[in-house]
Amino acid sequence: DAGVTQSPTHLIKTRGQQVTLRCSPKSGHDTVSWYQQALGQGPQFIFQYYEEEERQRGNFPDRFSGHQFPNYSSELNVNALLLGDSALYLCASSSPREWEEEQYFGPGTRLTVT
C-alpha cells in the first residue's frame, strides 16, 4: 500500500520564479492538505483540497495556489518566489471515511530559493 508520495525531492529556484510541487495521496484518501515547514519550525497549514476544491486556507498570500485532480493528486504552485519561501513543503492526506484528524504526511519537497 503506497503512502503519500511527493515530487520532486529537492528543488532550487531563483527569486521571482514560479514553482510547482506535486503530491499523490495515500491509497483510498481523497483529501489533501499542504503545509510549509521552515527550518527549525513546525509545519504551517497552507490549504486543503477536497473534491477538487479548496476547502480551507491558512494565512498564506495568493501567490500560493493549488489544484486537485480527479484522481485526488494535488499540486502546489508558488509564484514570484521570495527568499522566505525556502522551506520543506509537506503534503498530507486523509479521508472522511476514516478519522480525518489523522493525516498521513509525505516526505516533503525541500525548496531552496536563491
Q: Does residue 87 touch other proteins according to CB under 8 A?
A: no
Residue 42 Cβ, how far from other proteins at the closest point, in Å? 3
Where do we find the cell 481523497?
A: 30
- Binds other proteins (CB under 8 A): choice among 45, 60, 75, 86: 45
In 3D space, the residue among 44, 26, 29, 30 whose CA is nearest the CA of residue 87 turns out to be 44
Residue 96 Cβ, how far from other proteins at the closest point, in Å? 8
Identify whether the C-beta of residue 21 lies closer than 8 Å to the C-beta of residue 109: yes
Based on CB atoms, which residue is closest to other proteins, 42 or 70?
42
- The binding site for other proteins (CB under 8 A) comprises 4, 31, 33, 35, 40-45, 48, 56, 58, 90, 92, 94, 100-108
